Structure 1
Amino acid sequence: MPATPPPPPVSEEERTRLRSRIKRLLKERDAVLVAHYYVDEDLQRLAEETGGCVADSLEMARFGNAHPARTLVVAGVRFMGETAKILNPEKRVLMPTLQAECSLDLGCPASLFIPFCDAHPDRQVVVYSNTSAEVKARADWVVTSSIAVKLIEHLKARGEKILWAPDRHLGTYIQHVTGADMLLWNATCVVHDEFKGQALAALKRQHPDAAVIAHPESPTAVLDLADVIGSTSQLIEAAKNLPQQKLIVATDRGIFYKMKQAAPGKILMAAPTAGEGATCESCAHCPWMAMNALANLAEVLETGTNEVHVEETVRVKALRATQRMLDFAASIRQKNHGD
């Protein structure tokens, strides 16, 4: 868990002052704000109001790559800033804090992962975007949860065996859906791993008219109870389209800001993190995402500190697998558009 606590709350007057300052600085610095669904809603709202982007990690990468701004400000966790720099070496990439880690990234250190890959040379190395630049540099493919199943289906159809990292819950889910031969790295997300199947079943009994929507980083016992399983963007779409008026949501509660926009009037309930084996380390919110705030966002725009750097030889290698992800995602969009 992060050693640095989240920033303290600020008054409404201070929030208004910080928001005005950030908007002015974004213009002055030729910068655009790219925010993940899991950060504080103040930052998501700012990104919307200033022509930036609120999205999952795939769309964040795509948006930052296409936007003409010379500076990208990434509100999220460290691997997201690294991905922006991998794709945009000519741009300056800043983050409100460089201390915002990811348990999946931390759980897959390059020093251990690279020898593991070397020991299995017959497998295509597919890594989740929640990994360091060094791990991406060793991979054949980078993937996000929104396209993971389709990519593994594609590789399976080519007769490939897969080495998957780092999230074992997501890997297990993909393996179940696709039937692919997958060797799984053993790491989990501190948020999604806290959701409890027994407690979720009890909540469903209390609300039999509710649909359960879950991110595939959740444990199998939770996914077995889900009506919809998908990436953050897919869950927002499901919230809009499902007929149920009550939704039990098994992902970071930061998503509620955009989910309420997509499905106004629906009742959103966080899936339970209490129950047998509970430690409540996250309580449905990423402690590292919570480190992004208005104050440190304003500070980084003012000072230009917290710039993300990726060593060039690592960046070039990581770009290959990351660009493959973007190209594959584009081919899916083109096929769907053609259909």
Structure 2
Amino acid sequence: MTSIEPEAIAQRPIAVPPPPTWPALSPQEKAALKARIRDLLTAQDAVLVAHYYTDGDLQELAEETGGLVADSLEMARFGTTSPARTLVVCGVRFMGETAKILNPEKRVLMPDLAATCSLDEGCPAAEFAAFCDAHPEWCVVVYANTSAEVKARADWVVTSSIALPVVRHLHERGEKILWAPDRHLGRYVQQETGADMLLWQGACVVHEAFKGYALEQLRRLHADAAVLVHPESPAEVIDQADVVGSTTQLIKAVSELPNETFIVATDQGIFWKMHQLAPHKRLIAAPTAGVGATCESCAHCPWMAMNALQNLEQVLVRGDQEVLVAPGIRERALVPIRRMLDFAEERGIGGRPATTT
């Protein structure tokens, strides 16, 4: 088979939707809407699972109703332990698919199934399979931000919180690693572990927008600030970080480090949890602005923004945004996902930040 080099895939443009606009709600309207959603969750034996990048109202409601606010690793774990018969996943499509793969007997709903991810979109299953076929001697490690079909082709699935220990483990075993899809995270993992890695050339449209030169200027204005960076960011941003880590690791840093000010290079949805745990800390969004930009930092995933209280209520009423995964795909994708979860449990990796500072 002809080798498909990852650089060829990188040229595909990703269609980024405009951020959705939701009608403004008065405090009374919002309270009434949340009350209706609570009743629907109870009536349907459903639990709400929200990612740190979703709107703060959704995160708050998840916590108030006994659900979960977490990173993708903890979201994957939660569904397997919750007794609820329905999981409502507020996040992006791969998170809903992972929940269904791990819990085929449960109904999994999302507010909007069109909420995808630029990393997922940039790694089409057929082209990725051809790439794997062209490099059969490599151990295939895929980031969680991929479709069920891509996961089904993998030996391992990893999240950002577990990527380093997994790759370090594989490197110590002498494995050569085919990594997909985020090239920035892959480069960071390769640099930290010394592993022999072949990188697919995908990128997150949110994190790739952070500007190294603008961050350097911002740091001069806030010399006492700690810089927190998600490893999906470009190298010139990662290289300026005091802490590089997953969403959970960055949240813990805000709570645990003595700094009063933090410059944060990840999706601004994370600020809700950071403010909740460390209300006295000052958080500054890392800059994404370039020439002609309309904001200093536009770091918010437009697909995450497709989750809102309004369509959360609608999906609970209609049940029409159900996540389905073909049985054959589910069975194959379950193997690398379960391998990741077993590895995390054996090594004591993961966990959520404390609920108070």
TM-score under structure 2 normalisation?
A: 0.91
Shift of 1:2: 2.1
Structure 2 counterpart of 1:33: 48
Residue equivalent to 1:271: 286
Deviation at 1:103, TM superposition (A): 0.3
1:55-105 Cα distance to aligned partner (Å, 9 max, x none) = 000000101111000000000000000000000000000000111010000
18, 28, 32: which one pairs with 1:13?
Answer: 28
- Name the CA distance, whole Å, in 1 between partners of 2:99 and 2:296: 29
Amino acid in structure 2 at the alignment position of 1:241: E
Shift of 1:51: 0.2
Aligned to 2:276: 261
Instruction: Indicate the larger mover: 298-307 or 270-279.
Output: 270-279
Equivalent AA in structure 2 for residue 225 of structure 1: Q
Instruction: Please state how far the C-alpha of 1:27 moved relative to its aligned partner.
Output: 0.4
**Pair 1:249-2:264 in alignment:** yes
Pick from 186, 189, 192 the counterpart of residue 177 of structure 1.
192
Deviations 1:131-165, CA, capped at 9 Å, x for gaps: 00000000000000001000000000000000000
The alignment status of 1:213 with 2:228, answered yes or no, reads yes
Q: Is the 8 Å Cα contact of residues 74 and 80 (structure 1) preserved in structure 2? A: yes
Q: Which amino acid aligns with 2:94?
A: F
Mapped contact 1:239–1:263 kept (Cα < 8 A): yes
**Structure 1: segments with no counterpart, 5+ residues:** none
1:88 paired with 2:103, answer yes
Relative to 1, partners in 2 of residues 1:237 and 1:136: Cα closer, same or farther, differing over 3 Å?
Answer: same
RMSD: 1.8
Choose from 122, 129, 132 the match for 1:117.
132
CA offsets per residue over residues 18-58 of structure 1, 9 Å max, x none? 10000000000000000000000000000000000000000
Structure 1 partner of 2:142: 127
1:108 to 109, 119, 123: 123
Is residue 191–residue 282 contact of structure 1 (8 Å, CA) maintained in 2? Answer: no
- Counterpart of 2:57, as a letter, is D
1:312 corresponding residue in structure 2:
327
Aligned equivalents of 2:344 and 2:106: distance in 1?
A: 23
Secondary structure of the structure 2 residue equivalent to 1:275: coil
* One-letter identity of the residue aligned with 2:166: L
Mapped contact 1:173–1:216 kept (Cα < 8 A)? yes
CA contact (8 A) 2:93 2:114 kept: yes
* Cα distance in 1 between the residues matched to 2:350 and 2:305: 37
**Alignment coverage as a number of residue pairs:** 336
Which residue identity lines up with residue 195 of structure 2 in the other structure?
Answer: A
1:178-222 residue CA offsets vs partner (Å, 9 max, x unmatched)? 010000000111110010000000000000010100000000000
- Give yes or no for contact 2:49–2:87 (8 Å, CA) kept in 1: yes
Could you tell me whether the CA contact under 8 Å between 2:254 and 2:278 is conserved in 1? yes
Matches within 5 A, 1:28-67: 28-67=43-82
Match in the other structure for 1:301: 316
Distance across 2 between alignment mates of 1:269 and 1:282 = 10
2:300 maps to 285
Classify the secondary structure of the residue corresponding to 1:142: strand
Percent identity between matched residues is: 67
Q: Is the contact made by 1:98 and 1:306 (CA closer than 8 Å) also made in structure 2?
A: yes
Structure 2 Cα separation of the partners of residues 108 and 244 of structure 1: 39
Amino acid at match of 1:237: K
Task: Please say if residues 162 and 349 of structure 2, whose CA atoms lie closer than 8 Å, have aligned partners that are also in contact.
Answer: no
Q: 1:189 aligns with which of 188, 199, 204?
A: 204
Q: How far is 1:17 from its partner? A: 1.4
Offset of residue 167 of structure 1:
0.2
Describe the SS at the equivalent of 1:122.
Answer: coil
Unaligned residue ranges in structure 2 (runs of 5+): 1-15, 352-357
Of 149, 163, 166, which aligns to 1:151? 166
- The 3 A distance-change label for structure 1 pair 334 and 266 is closer
Task: For residue 4 of structure 1, report the CA deviation from its aligned partner.
Answer: 7.5
The structural deviation recorded for 1:287 is 0.5
Name the residue aligned to 2:175.
160
Corresponding position of 1:72: 87
TM-score normalised to structure 1 length: 0.96
Aligned-pair distance for 1:262? 2.0
User: Following TM superposition, by how much is the alpha carbon of 1:334 offset from its aligned partner in structure 2, in angstroms?
Assistant: 7.6
Q: What residue number does 1:331 align with?
A: 346
Contact 2:344 2:350 in 1 (8 A): no
Distance 2:279 2:296 in 1: 30
**Which amino acid letter does the alignment assign opposite residue 300 of structure 1?**
V
Give, in whole Å, the separation in 2 of the partners of 1:281 and 1:311: 43
